[in-house]
Amino acid sequence: MKLFQTIVLIVLILLSLSAGAVKIMEMPQEVAFFAQAGLSATSLMILGVVQIAGGSLAIFQKTRRPGVTLVGAGFLVSSIVIFMTGNIGFGVFSLLPVILAAYLVLERRKA
């Protein structure tokens, strides 16, 4: 089980860092997607910072729980934006990182 948790953690960290970087770099697809949902470039930037901060904090043992919590929150916001655009199928799929982050937070709480 420890191996599974480690793999999930690594995947979530990499996903969060890459998703945050794309938002901070204001890639045209991300800007257009957020604009379609009625959100500004500023909100895109804030979400990118949250995702990078969460991924960075999750790397270190001492800050792992708050980091994974931020990762989950960042992906939850992204999922909500996806739902706002009407893409229900992808929105449901995009909840997977949120569920995995919640799993890690709850497992860390037990330890």
Q: How far apart are CA 32 and CA 102, in angstroms?
A: 29
pLDDT score of 109: 73
52-78: average pLDDT: 96
Tell me the average pLDDT across 85-104: 94
Give mean pLDDT, residues 62-69.
Answer: 96
Is the model's pLDDT at 110 over the cut of 80? no
Q: What is the mean pLDDT of the chain?
A: 93
pLDDT score for 111: 59
pLDDT in tens, 9-28: 999 999 999 999 999 999 99
Print the domain residue range for 15. Answer: 2-110
Percent of the chain residues past pLDDT 70, beyond the cut: 97
Whether residue 99 is predicted with pLDDT greater than 80 in this model: the reply is yes
User: What is the spatial distance between Cα 110 and Cα 106, in angstroms, rounded to a whole number?
Assistant: 7
Distance CA 75, CA 62 (A): 22
Single-letter code of the amino acid located at 74: G
- Alpha-carbon span 18 to 12, nearest angstrom: 10
CA nearest 41: which of 54, 27, 57, 62?
A: 27
pTM, 2 dp: 0.91
